[in-house]
Amino acid sequence: MAQVPAMAWLLSRFPAHNHAFMLREIERMEKLGFSILPIAISDPDRPPEQLTAGENAAFRRTWYLNRESISSIATAQIRVLARNPGGWLRGLRTALTFSGWEWPRIPANLKYFFGAVMIGDRLERQGIHWVHSHYTSTVAYLLGVTFAGRIAYSLTVHGSGEFEDVRGFRLAEKIQLARFVIAISSFGRSQMMKITPPQEWHKLRVIRLGIDPALYRPATPDPSPPFTVVTAGMLVSVKGYPLLLEAIAALRRQGRSVRLRLAGDGVDRPQLEEQARRLGLLPDAVEFLGWVAGDRLPEIYGSADALVLSSFAEGIPVVLMEAMAMGVPCVAPAIGGIGELIENRVSGLLVPAGDADAIATAIGMLIDSPPLRAAIAAAGREVIATRYSLDANTTALAHALKEISSATDS
């Protein structure tokens, strides 16, 4: 394989609770010989004293755009204007076009553009000519427009937001300019194929996310009641947590001893706590844990008889992979790429999205059948070990980057 030059990894907020896999990916890529400059748009989602040791190390070496002064941003614009005036003007015009020339949207797009110019200026001075971005970053796109022929970018597209608002995310334009684009599921690739011409499909590749199974060793379930359900994620509307609370309440009304531990925080927490009170679930049947650091999540999974998701939209949730690796039976909606991770009644239970009764029924099946739980636990762990290994999937990403680099240079 060809030697890949130094690269930048462009991230939104880093480190972050819900982006822990990005840190592990960067660490693995560097072990494979890549030299990576992490660039984040915003600070971590916690103060430094609350970061893990690995997160703190990443924090210290990451370049944060939001920490740059106005004078340094202005200086970068002047330098780029001097050596690449056509690109600078092209990028500015694109940023204004993206805003629809509507004043309320112009400031944000100008901020993205100035940030893109600053990144490009630093990368050119450091001899870095390739940026990889998680999610459909407008900053990465404006960087590609402004520094066309000088700095290229590639994307990992997760979904599901980009697929629900293709026009708003300018997904087709970002795919067209990208050197290549990774989908984390076949479903995700199909959604991008739907909006791109067939001649662009060669750059769309499926490379799944992964975890290190060694970090998630199977726990020994506690057979005594209550039956403990855990879930993890941001407390926002797309996660559908009101449905999960309804399902727990329905099971309790049936006389079942069940409780829910909810790891995460977000804007919907007050409403969810009020719903739990109204349903009579507090304090005994529901525990709101707040944010849980990534290195503590195995402890949470280890307390579980099942992990349940109730989302309305997902890519392939990493929390499912982590729980399955620990041998925790999972219940999840049959949406997005989840059906590629879980085979119904084999490696987990799939339910229709938006159906609280179906969630309650699935949890009831697991309560009633210890053999089913054991079979699903074993099959789920096998799926993670064989298809969602961090080492294997990061190696696939490294191969793809080297292959594309070699083809471009030849």
CA distances, 7 to each of 242, 275, 313 (Å): 42, 47, 31
* pLDDT for the residue 240: 98
Whether 213-387 and 7-210+389-409 are alike in CATH topology: the answer is yes
Domain boundaries, the chain: 7-210+389-409, 213-387
pLDDT given for residue 4 in this prediction: 64
Sheet containing 7-13: order of strands: 63-64, 36-42, 7-13, 130-134, 152-157, 181-183, 204-206
Give the C-alpha separation, 43 to 146, whole Å.
25
Per-residue pLDDT 10s for the chain (410 aa) are 345 668 999 999 999 877 788 998 999 999 999 999 999 999 998 898 888 888 999 999 999 999 999 999 999 999 999 999 999 999 999 999 998 888 888 999 999 999 999 999 999 999 999 999 988 789 999 999 999 999 999 999 998 889 989 998 999 999 999 999 999 999 999 999 999 999 999 999 999 999 998 889 898 878 889 999 999 999 999 999 999 999 999 999 999 999 999 999 999 999 999 999 999 999 999 999 998 887 889 999 999 999 999 999 999 999 999 999 999 999 999 999 999 999 999 999 999 999 999 999 999 999 999 999 999 999 999 999 999 999 999 999 999 988 887 766 54
This prediction has a pTM of: 0.90
**Res 118: pLDDT:** 98
The whole-number pLDDT of residue 1 equals: 39
Structure-token match 């099959």, residue found? 379
* Terminal alpha carbon distance of the chain: 13
What letter would DSSP give residue 219? Answer: P
Fold of 7-210+389-409: Rossmann fold (3.40.50)
Give pLDDT, residue 135. 81
Residue owning tokens 């999840």: 332
Structure tokens at 19: 């982006």
The class level of CATH for 213-387 reads: alpha beta
The two tokens of residue 270 are 């007050």
Of 230, 257, 405, 399, nearest in space to 331 by CA: 230
Local structure of residue 50 (DSSP, 8 states): G
Q: Give the Cα separation of 350 and 72 in Å (integer).
A: 51
How many CB atoms within 10 Å of residue 47? Answer: 8
Q: Helix %, strand %, coil % for the chain, to 5?
A: 55, 15, 30
Q: What is the pLDDT of residue 61?
A: 95
